[in-house]
Amino acid sequence: QKEVEQNSGPLSVPEGAIASLNCTYSDRVSQSFFWYRQYSGKSPELIMSIYSNGDKEDGRFTAQLNKASQYVSLLIRDSQPSDSATYLCAVTSNYGQNFVFGPGTRLSVLP
């Protein structure tokens, strides 16, 4: 069974620190990887995508992918209280036609 795993948290970091969120996946044929942010009571919002091994940076966010280890991570630099949310890792499945989501990691940035 294809699975995506994340630490459920909560992960608490002080304002200004780096938050590190991790995700592992089981399906070796997965090609595309995404991070979604979900505020309480809201819909998931796409914040990062990554397709090849290495790092991808976008503002304060950096996604890291290691296909050999089947591992994806998201780093948030200079964390802000507004970053407090649940972060969902998603991996394409079934020839890229839909996503398998992890259970999410709840991040709390303390002022």
User: Is 65 near other proteins (CB under 8 A)?
Assistant: no
What 3-state class would DSSP assign to 40? coil
User: Among 12, 53, 80, 94, which residue sits at the site for other proteins (rule: CB under 8 A)?
Assistant: 94
Cβ atoms within 10 Å of 91's Cβ, excluding its own: 23
From 16-24, 44-52, 61-69, 73-81, give the range in contact with other proteins by CB under 8 A. Answer: 44-52
Cα angle value 83/85/90 (rounded, 5°): 110
Sole binder of other proteins in the list 21, 99, 107, 109 (CB under 8 A): 99
**Residue from 19, 72, 85, 100 in contact with other proteins (CB under 8 A):** 100
Of residues 4-23, which lie at the interface with other proteins (CB under 8 A)? none
- How far apart are alpha carbons 14 and 101 in whole angstroms? 27
Q: Could you tell me if 91 and 99 are in contact, meaning their C-beta atoms sit under 8 angstroms apart? A: yes
The answer to the question of residue 42 lying near other proteins (CB under 8 A) is yes
Nearer to other proteins, 17 or 56 (CB): 56
Binding span for other proteins by CB under 8 A among 52-60, 61-69, 73-81, 91-99: 91-99
d(CA 41, CA 10): 17
H or E element that contains 13: strand 11-14
Measured from the CB atom, the residue of 82 and 97 that comes closer to other proteins is 97
